A and B are shown apart, each in its own frame.
Chain A
Amino acid sequence: MSDPRKEHVLVWDIPTRIFHWTIVVLVAVSWFSADNGYLRMHLWSGLTLLALLLFRVLWGLLGSTTSRFTDFLHPPRKVMAYLRGHEKSLYAGHNPAGGWMVAVMIGVLLAQAVTGLFSNDGLHFTGPLALWVSDDVSTRITGLHGTIFNIIVVFIWLHVVAVGFYLLVKNHNLVGAMVTGKKHPHLVPAGLNLSFTRLYIALLLLALTAGIVAWVFFQGVP
């Protein structure tokens, strides 16, 4: 490694990293709690997920450079080129394929969280907004909630396979980067100029989305 640049470069801000790993934990918790009938736990992890996902959407608009949708959502042609290996440029944040993966993942998780609000388990538990709709609609949404779960599992697997591919085949540790926030200088484009949004903005946005979720939750409480 004969490189003048020794310093690792910070690419991921703290909110994005915390978001990522909290999502990992909460998806696991949701999965576990749903499978074992801990529906209170499922409710809380689902609501937290919803607040975080909404936060992430706002952060994708107002957050640091690498967190913004504009940074990682590329036109399809570029994505296809990247996948075929024709596109060789370096990306500080998500590459074109990963960017779309992130967007789709946020989308399906959001869909899952929202359908969860309207679901019921037919026995002792109803989602906070399940009473807004007819029993029949709620039951159908519950079916959808189950289907989306399967889609999420597929996406998680694709995600893990991709990260593994980078790690094992391309020797490119994306996992470590998402923990430390730093990437090896060789892996980021030269002359990088990243801006980082201040932490208190993140906290304000999170408070806002948590408030929205709480408000929605209390709408459903009779």
Chain B
Amino acid sequence: MSDFGPGRLSAAAYFGCVALLTALGLGVAAWAHPAFLHSSLQTMGLEAVPHAAPGSFYVTRIAPLFDARCLGCHDDTRAKGQLRLDSFAAAMRGGRDGPVIEPGNPKGSELFRRISLPSSDDRAMPPSGKTPLTADEVTVIKLWIASGASGELRTIKGAPRPVVEVKIPESDLAAVQKQRAPLAAALKQLQARYPGVIIYESRNSADLEVDASLRGAAFGDGDLAALLPLAARIVRADLSGTTITDAAAPTLVAMTSLTRLRLAHTKITDKTLVALVGLKSLKSVSVVETKVSDDALAPLRQHGVATYGGGNE
């Protein structure tokens, strides 16, 4: 392969050209995949890594949304379309085709465009078969991008409130048992004497609920006084239609945790009501069809207690 004649270029010139072209190619690649470029630069420490501030709208509203709805595909291991949404920096870098968030311009942001497509569209995100974002979630992202896709901004006016899922109260049966223990014997005795009148407020509580209304005339001051040992644990008491009188006041006042008290159709008078003002937890009192006057209820109402019945019935 020797005497075939010299080439048009010298080797040095040729490799010079090759080097130029390689650099140009890398440049074009970096331009076409800015996310990759920024990711590399950030990893090498040549570019500052943007962070979202704790408590910012991004951290409290956007990140949890990405977390719940997008990271299945756009986390560090999968990164579909080379898009990662697992950090503020990654989200702002974008994916294979460049940034997906254009601050201040939701319509121009690929991320927003994709989440607002109808779920039948091939390009819709999350893809068909997965639950689409709710209208509120889309709005939250839209408003965030519109307000500059900031990592600092804390609140955005008009943003829908976050969806709150109800947490079922955990029950620690052992702890409940322990709380119940001191009064368990007394309770058992009284439950035997007044079946169906005293029950625990719930399965995970040591608090008690008293309902004597169905015993009617068979339940009087003496019976109520018998409950005195349990008084501090009683949170609700319905004594409607019983024969209790103002003599019941001391027992009632001993019910320091009481939140709801029903005294309808009883002989209770203002005297008892005045004494109830000391019950700090009390939220509501019913004196429907009693002789109680509105004057006696006024102080309770001043303490934020809802009153039913009384004088102006």
B5 & A171 in contact (Cβ 8 Å cutoff): yes
Q: How far is the CA of A200 from the CA of B63 in the complex (A)?
A: 62
B128 sits at the interface (CB 8 A): yes
CB-CB under 8 A from B73, the residues of chain A are 122
A165/B14 contact (C-beta < 8 A), A170-B7, A172-B4 known: yes
- Secondary structure type dominating chain B contacts: loop
B127 & A123 in contact (Cβ 8 Å cutoff): yes
* Smallest beta-carbon distance B97→chain A, Å: 9
CB-CB under 8 A from B177, the residues of chain A are none
A204 sits at the interface (CB 8 A): no
B45 sits at the interface (CB 8 A): no
B18 & A139 in contact (Cβ 8 Å cutoff): no
A186 & B14 in contact (Cβ 8 Å cutoff): no
Q: How far is the CA of A17 from the CA of B80 in the complex (A)?
A: 37
Q: How far is the CA of A71 from the CA of B225 in the complex (A)?
A: 110
A-B contact count (CB 8 A): 50
* Smallest beta-carbon distance B202→chain A, Å: 43
Interface string of B8-39 (1 = CB under 8 A from A): 11110010001000100100000000000000
Q: How far is the CA of A165 from the CA of B19 in the complex (A)?
A: 13
A169/B11 contact (C-beta < 8 A), A121-B80, A124-B127 known: yes
B2 sits at the interface (CB 8 A): yes
A124/B9 contact (C-beta < 8 A), A90-B1, A186-B4 known: no
CB-CB under 8 A from A187, the residues of chain B are 1, 4
CB-CB under 8 A from A164, the residues of chain B are 14, 18
**A56-94 CB contacts (< 8 Å) to partner B:** 88, 90
A88 & B2 in contact (Cβ 8 Å cutoff): yes
Q: How far is the CA of A206 from the CA of B10 in the complex (A)?
A: 42
B1 & A168 in contact (Cβ 8 Å cutoff): no
A184 sits at the interface (CB 8 A): yes
Q: How far is the CA of A210 from the CA of B4 in the complex (A)?
A: 42
Give the interface of A toward B (CB within 8 A): 88, 90, 121-124, 139, 143, 157, 161, 164-165, 167-172, 184, 186-187
Q: How far is the CA of A196 from the CA of B1 in the complex (A)?
A: 24
> Could you write out 20 A-B pairs with CB less than 8 Å apart?
A90-B1, A122-B80, A123-B80, A124-B122, A124-B127, A139-B77, A157-B25, A168-B14, A169-B7, A169-B9, A169-B10, A169-B11, A170-B7, A171-B5, A171-B6, A171-B8, A172-B1, A172-B4, A184-B4, A186-B3
B4 & A171 in contact (Cβ 8 Å cutoff): yes
Q: How far is the CA of A168 from the CA of B8 in the complex (A)?
A: 5
* Smallest beta-carbon distance B9→chain A, Å: 5
B1 & A157 in contact (Cβ 8 Å cutoff): no
CB-CB under 8 A from A170, the residues of chain B are 1, 4, 7
Q: How far is the CA of A164 from the CA of B73 in the complex (A)?
A: 42
**B40-65 CB contacts (< 8 Å) to partner A:** none
Interface size on B, as a range, is: 20 to 34
Chain A residue nearest to B122 (CB atoms) is A124
B78 sits at the interface (CB 8 A): yes
CB-CB under 8 A from A168, the residues of chain B are 7-9, 14
CB-CB under 8 A from B10, the residues of chain A are 169
CB-CB under 8 A from A186, the residues of chain B are 3-4
The 8 closest A-B pairs by CB, nearest first: A171-B7, A169-B7, A123-B127, A122-B80, A168-B9, A169-B14, A122-B73, A169-B11
Q: How far is the CA of A122 from the CA of B130 in the complex (A)?
A: 11
CB-CB under 8 A from A122, the residues of chain B are 73, 78, 80, 127
CB-CB under 8 A from B127, the residues of chain A are 122-124
B128 & A124 in contact (Cβ 8 Å cutoff): yes
Q: Report which residue of A90, A123, A164 has the largest number of chain B beta carbons within 10 angstroms of its beta carbon.
A: A123
Chain A residue nearest to B19 (CB atoms) is A161
Q: How far is the CA of A88 from the CA of B3 in the complex (A)?
A: 12
Q: How far is the CA of A143 from the CA of B76 in the complex (A)?
A: 11
* Smallest beta-carbon distance A96→chain B, Å: 13
CB-CB under 8 A from A184, the residues of chain B are 4
CB-CB under 8 A from B11, the residues of chain A are 165, 169
Q: How far is the CA of A79 from the CA of B127 in the complex (A)?
A: 51
Chain B residue nearest to A140 (CB atoms) is B77
Q: How far is the CA of A121 from the CA of B81 in the complex (A)?
A: 9
Q: Report which residue of B6, B7, B77 has the largest number of chain A beta carbons within 10 angstroms of its beta carbon.
A: B7
CB-CB under 8 A from B77, the residues of chain A are 139, 143
Q: How far is the CA of A161 from the CA of B9 in the complex (A)?
A: 13
* Smallest beta-carbon distance A123→chain B, Å: 4
